[in-house]
C-alpha cells in the first residue's frame, strides 16, 4: 500500500523556521557581541552532576548513560555515582589549579540525597543550574504538564538551600524537552535554558509565558559524547577542544565579533584517574590565553551578550 497523499503536503513550508519558537538568523549576520575587557572569547564550563536511579523505567526514552543491563545494573549505577563521590573533587581541584570557574547543573534528587556534596559545591561560589529531578525523569513530548511542572518545581526547591542567588538557568536531563517545557521553565521563574544546540551564542526563545534565552552548550564537544558515545581517545578529546578554542579565538579576532566556547563536563567521565590529566591539559591551554579568554558564570555571559538586542 502506498503512502497517504498527505505525505506530500507541506503546511509549514514557509520563510524561516517550521515552528515559532525562535527567529531565523545566521550567526555571521548578527550584530557583534563584545565581551568585557574586549576579550574575544567567553568560556563557559559546566559540570553536570547526576543521579541515575537503579530502577530506571526509561519513560519517554532512556537517557544516554542510563542503565542497560538486567536489574540490578550495579555496573552502570556505581560508575555514575563514582562521579559524585570521587570524580567531581578531581575536576574541582583541576579548575582551582588553573583559576577557572564553572557552573554546576545538579539533579534535584542528587541534592536531596547528598547534602554533604551540595554544601561543598556551595562553597565554590559557582552558579547552580536546574538539571531536572534525576536522569530517569525525562521531559518528553506527551508528558503530562502537571507532572512536568511538579518535577521542575521539586528540582528547583531541592537546589534552593544551596544557591546563593535564585537559580536562573536550566539543563534538561538528556537535553530533552516536551512541547510545554519552555513555558514551564519560564513559569518557574527561570531566565534561560541550555537544551538547544543549534547555535554558538545566546538567542531569544519564545514561550507563551514570555521569552526565555537559550544558552548554547555544545553537545559535540561534550566529554560523554566524545569519549562515551564516539569512543574517541582521551587525548583526542583534549585535542578537539583545544582545536575548537583556537579556531574560535581566531574567528573572533578576525571578525571582531565575540565568540563563546561552552563545555559540558561529567565528573563520572572525565574524573576517572586515566582521564583527568587530559582535562587538565585543556585547562592549562585555557590558562595560556587568559588575556583573550573571559571565563565567567553563564548568567554573566548571557547578560553581556544581550540576546534581546540581536535579530534572533
Partner 1 sequence: MNTPLIKTPKSDPGLFDYLPYDSRPKISWPSGARVALWIAPNIEFYEYAPPPNPQRKPWPRPLPDILSYATRDYGNRVGHQRMMRVMDKYGLRGSVSLSAATLIHHPEVIELAAARDWEFFSHGIYNTRYTYGLDEAQEREMIEESMALIKQHTGQHCDGYLAPALSHSESTIDLFAEAGGAYTCDLFHDDQPTPVHTRSGKRFVSVPYSLELNDTITYVVNKIEPRRYGQMIKDAFDRLYAEGEHSGTVMCVPLHAYQVSHPHRIRAFEEAMDYICSHAGVWKATGREIAQHYLKHSYDDALAAIAAVAKEDAA
Which residues in this chain contact partner 1 in the complex, by CB under 8 A?
1-3, 5-8, 10, 12-19, 24-29, 60-61, 140-142, 174-179, 195-200, 218-221, 229-233, 236, 239-241, 243-248, 251, 261
Q: Which is nearer to partner 1, 13 or 208 (CB)?
A: 13
Q: Rounded to the nearest whole angstrom, what is the least distance from the CB of residue 197 to partner 1 in the complex?
A: 5
- Burial letters for 226-246: b for 16+ Cβ neighbours within 10 Å, e otherwise? bbeeeeeebeebbebbeebbe
Q: Rounded to the nearest whole angstrom, what is the least distance from the CB of residue 35 to partner 1 in the complex?
A: 17
Q: Rounded to the nearest whole angstrom, what is the least distance from the CB of residue 134 to partner 1 in the complex?
A: 18
C-alpha–C-alpha distance, residues 163 and 23, integer Å: 33
Q: Which helix (H) or strand (E) holds 255?
A: helix 234-255
Q: Which is nearer to partner 1, 114 or 205 (CB)?
A: 205
Q: Rounded to the nearest whole angstrom, what is the least distance from the CB of residue 177 to partner 1 in the complex?
A: 5
Q: Which is nearer to partner 1, 66 or 177 (CB)?
A: 177
- Peptide bond preceding 72: is omega within 30 degrees of 0, i.e. cis? yes
Q: Which is nearer to partner 1, 26 or 116 (CB)?
A: 26
Q: Rounded to the nearest whole angstrom, what is the least distance from the CB of residue 133 to partner 1 in the complex?
A: 18
Instruction: Tell the burial category of 173 from Cβ atoms under 10 Å away from its Cβ (0-12, 13-18, 19+).
Output: buried
C-alpha–C-alpha distance, residues 47 and 118, integer Å: 13
Q: Which is nearer to partner 1, 84 or 295 (CB)?
A: 295
Q: Which is nearer to partner 1, 7 or 256 (CB)?
A: 7
User: What is the distance, to the nearest Å, from the Cα of residue 79 to the centroid of all Cα atoms in its chain?
Assistant: 21
- Burial letters for 24-35: b for 16+ Cβ neighbours within 10 Å, e otherwise? eeeeeebeebeb
| Cα dihedral 286→287→291→294 (10° resolution) | 60
Cα-based distances in Å from 139 to 209, 239, 242, 275? 18, 33, 33, 31
Strands (E), the chain: 41-49, 103-106, 128-130, 169-170, 192-193, 203-205, 212-214, 259-265, 293-295
Q: Rounded to the nearest whole angstrom, what is the least distance from the CB of residue 179 to partner 1 in the complex?
A: 6
C-alpha cell belonging to residue 169: 538557568
Q: Rounded to the nearest whole angstrom, what is the least distance from the CB of residue 296 to partner 1 in the complex?
A: 19
Q: Which is nearer to partner 1, 56 or 158 (CB)?
A: 56
Q: Which is nearer to partner 1, 159 or 249 (CB)?
A: 249
Q: Rounded to the nearest whole angstrom, what is the least distance from the CB of residue 181 to partner 1 in the complex?
A: 9
Amino acid at each position: 500500500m502506498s503512502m497517504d497523499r498527505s505525505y506530500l503536503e507541506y503546511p509549514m513550508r514557509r520563510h524561516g523556521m517550521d515552528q515559532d519558537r525562535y527567529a531565523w538568523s545566521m550567526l555571521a549576520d548578527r550584530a557583534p557581541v563584545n565581551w568585557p575587557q574586549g576579550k574575544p572569547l567567553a568560556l563557559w564550563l559546566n559540570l553536570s552532576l547526576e543521579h541515575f536511579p537503579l530502577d530506571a523505567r526509561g519513560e519517554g526514552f532512556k537517557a544516554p548513560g542510563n542503565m542497560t543491563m538486567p536489574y540490578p545494573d550495579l555496573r552502570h549505577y556505581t560508575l555514575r555515582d563514582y562521579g559524585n563521590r570521587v570524580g567531581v573533587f578531581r575536576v574541582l581541584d583541576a579548575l582551582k589549579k588553573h583559576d577557572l570557574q564553572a557552573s554546576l547543573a545538579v539533579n534535584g534528587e542528587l541534592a536531596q540525597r547528598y547534602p554533604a556534596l551540595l554544601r561543598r559545591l556551595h562553597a565554590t561560589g559557582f552558579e547552580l543550574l536546574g538539571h531536572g529531578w534525576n536522569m530517569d525523569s525525562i521531559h518528553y513530548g506527551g508528558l503530562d504538564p502537571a507532572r512536568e511542572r511538579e518535577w521542575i518545581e521539586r528540582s528547583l526547591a531541592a537546589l534552593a538551600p544551596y544557591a546563593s542567588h535564585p537559580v536562573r538557568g536550566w539543563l534538561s536531563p538528556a537535553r530533552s524537552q516536551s512541547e510545554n517545557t519552555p513555558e514551564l521553565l519560564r513559569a518557574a521563574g527561570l531566565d534561560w535554558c541550555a537544551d538547544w544546540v543549534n547555535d554558538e551564542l545566546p538567542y531569544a526563545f519564545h514561550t507563551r509565558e514570555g521569552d526565555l534565552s537559550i544558552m548554547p552548550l555544545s553537545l559535540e564537544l561534550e566529554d560523554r559524547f566524545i569519549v562515551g558515545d564516539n569512543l574517541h581517545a582521551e587525548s583526542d578529546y583534549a585535542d578537539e577542544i583545544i582545536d575548537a578554542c583556537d579556531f574560535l579565538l581566531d574567528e573572533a579576532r578576525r571578525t571582531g565579533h565575540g565568540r563563546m566556547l561552552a563545555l559540558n563536563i561529567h565528573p563520572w567521565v572525565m574524573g576517572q584517574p586515566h582521564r583527568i590529566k587530559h582535562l587538565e591539559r585543556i585547562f592549562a591551554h585555557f590558562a595560556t590565553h587568559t588575556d583573550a579568554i573571559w571565563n565567567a558564570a553563564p548568567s554573566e555571559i548571557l547578560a553581556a551578550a544581550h540576546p534581546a538586542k540581536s535579530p534572533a
